[in-house]
Structure 1
Amino acid sequence: MDALDHEVYITTGWSRIKKEMSITDDHLLVFEMVDFKTIDLSVFSYPNPIVAPGIEQHVDDEVPVTFVVDNHFRLKKKWTQTHGLDRKMDLTIKDSAGQTWDVAIDVEFSQGCPRYNVTGMREFVRDKHLVYGSQIQMIYVKRQGMLLYN
């Protein structure tokens, strides 16, 4: 990052970041400057036109999600796109005791349509003694990239 005319610009590495995160014109990017050398970047799917200035739009930071214990752990397409999870990315599951499990969103295509699955759930299911067909309620916390399980 460099400061030019009292504004901060990403001057190196942007092409790599854009490619690795699969950023396109259909994404909304939110940058938060932590300090002069560190920024947090959030990428959201944004197929809708940008809202005119002065019109407030809210998307909750914590949203519920339900899984069925099966071999897929599929996320609903519209829900996934609404909450910016429509790309490959890492997530963490955290329970009320503070134990964590690393999982990821994987994108697969069926007849040209994307499907979004959470992979790496086997260890979590085993540790929580969940049975095939049961439902799991979690809260997705966007700002932390985390699924909370009680």
Structure 2
Amino acid sequence: MLARLPRLRLPAWWKSALLYGALLAAGTGVLAWLDYQRLVRSHVAEVYDFLLAGGFLALGLWLGARLWGRRGGPAPAFDGNPRAQAALGISPREMAVLAELAAGHSNKEIAARLHVSPNTVKTHVARLFEKLGARRRTDALRRARELGLVP
């Protein structure tokens, strides 16, 4: 059986305090509305400029979405140029290392992401340099982008 809670009795002044609070809130609202009306009347040109700019912004976004949003359909999926990959003899693991290089990761980060040792990553990077004819990472990435191996 549920126990009955005792009924709370509010003091007599509580109703008058609530009434005065409501009147003060209403008065503040009226004053804020009057201040807003004065502000709008004294800055009519700025309000119209703001509304006009907002309208043109909305129109521009809508037109841009209609004209350029559907152009060409969805972008084709990136395939990594399997012909160039086969011609250079780049293994799938070396492609994974190349993708991580393109993302800007260090050897240690690549090793952690691919679950291999940093020495294995160094070996893959050295082989990629040989196959791409590069001396630095930036050269290798430039060459890989030219061949379409990485986006």
The TM-score range, normalised by the shorter chain, is under 0.3
More strand by share: 1
Structure 1 or 2, whichever has the larger Rg, is 2
More helix by share: 2
TM-score (norm 2): 0.24
TM-score (norm 1): 0.24
